[in-house]
Chain A
């Protein structure tokens, strides 16, 4: 059995969890096991989960906030009851805060930030990106079991399976926590950068924070999230949570559009695993063009308004 942790927000399964579910289902298929989901009560959409390849759902009752020790308790107890071979998490903020802890508590291996697996010598091996995207590494578990965390946008969501889902309750007792939640602040109505499929990103080439209007317009037209290079965040032109790169967030969207960003190696470190990269820069020698799939060489102050106009016409 392959167990996947499913997180939800307002009753909707998070995209990162759907991706982990797809990974778990494919892994289960390759090892001849079944994929099952663990979810906090009240948010099961059986059809959706069946399409992702999940065959059984275990619901537990929990408070709205669990700290990392409490989450680990949840997984530990589910593990004792279900004895899965593999436990799959998303390597989102929750996965990063509990993955190692679960591995230690269960005395198992952890392979984190995985983007792919394949079978080799009749056991699965797992691929991750290392050295700022300049290389990949394949890892294996010493035994045929362990904990895997899946990089957001690393694998994809494949709702093409057709499983019947049975749901049951699982009894998990959660001890009181050591951490008190005082506030949770979420950006309203915005897709978190790590979950976004399309990202429009801009750098120092924009010259002034007041010029971001056209960037936001482009993002709206493409239904994209916005990001920026580090100097732009450091200067306070853009919020720090938009900063991508080696010291910011690492992302792997389907399409990354870089506007007025030179493509310094520290910037590329956070974005060069994107599936498609579009670069708009006036300097034909900008290093970013070497990492790009599509490029437009010219003045962004002319190109972006025209591109926005062309997109509006096309809609």
Chain B
């Protein structure tokens, strides 16, 4: 089975978020980047498990510049076989999806994995755009995946529950919590990763239809109002008269 895992990078949640003077650019300096947890913990690991059980190849792909190579090596250390990086700024989801789609058209895969969302922008856009460019079915928010004889049975998160569906390969799948258990790279993995191929590919241009106007940082909270634990009627009064929920 040929499996492709799309990996994105994201600032560590504890990073300080700062913008430049005209509020148009995020300042990356001093920010610690990590692999997007949905990609690292769930989709990559499930792809590796499938290879371990039925054989095949797991490749990872990333759209970004050379500063991401250290994260790509981590994905190789966890167990991917080969990596591809498309040299681009990855400034919007249409471009990322288009680049990956062009790559997949010339290198067909049975399943293309993306994560549920990149946690910096909570976009959840690349997967469904990629599926559209490839004209493939899209299994969104998949938390369980089994494959037998090229037929997949998947559980998808939906609002207030889940759906169990069945479909044939090939398809695009977005990974949610539950799809697999996080794996930590071991020493052998880290050493092997250095020898695995990381191929760099040139980008193709595509038109984007939306643009960032500016960033904004939220106003600070005006401060918490403390309620005496011995006067809980005051809390009830707030529920009733200020928040109006009872």
Contact = CB atoms under 8 A, between A and B. Distances in A.
A292 B229 contact: no
Nearest to A15: B159
Contacts of B165: 67, 179-182
A41 interface: no
Contact of B128 (A101, A132, A265): A101
A243 B245 contact: no
Given A134-B17, A265-B14, A112 B124 contact: yes
A16 interface: yes
Contact of A255 (B157, B163, B243): B243
A307 B13 contact: no
A105 B94 CA distance: 12
Interface residues of B, dominant DSSP: mixed
B113 interface: no
19 contacts: A94-B158, A98-B128, A103-B132, A104-B94, A105-B132, A113-B123, A130-B121, A133-B218, A135-B215, A137-B213, A138-B213, A184-B162, A185-B162, A291-B221, A292-B221, A310-B233, A311-B239, A311-B246, A314-B246
Give the size category of B's interface with A: 35 or more
B105 interface: no
Interface string B25-40: 0100000000001100
Interface of A: 16, 67-69, 72, 91-94, 96-101, 103-105, 107-113, 120, 125, 127-143, 146, 178-187, 190-195, 197-198, 221-223, 240-241, 243, 246-248, 250, 254-255, 265-266, 269, 276, 278-279, 289-299, 302-303, 306-307, 310-311, 313-315
Contacts of A181: 163-165
Given A101-B128, A135-B217, A295-B227, A93 B140 contact: yes
Interface in B193-246: 208-218, 221, 224-229, 232-233, 235-236, 238-240, 243, 245-246
A278 B238 CA distance: 11
Given A109-B208, A138-B216, A294 B164 contact: no
Given A179-B165, A240-B178, A296 B235 contact: yes
Given A68-B140, A99-B125, A138-B214, A306 B232 contact: yes
Nearest to A92: B159
Contacts of A112: 123-125
Given A100-B127, A140-B210, A295-B227, A93 B167 contact: no
B119 A222 contact: no
Given A93-B140, A182-B164, A187-B161, A254 B243 contact: yes
B79 to A, nearest CB: 21
B164 A296 contact: no
A170 to B, nearest CB: 23
B209 A143 contact: yes
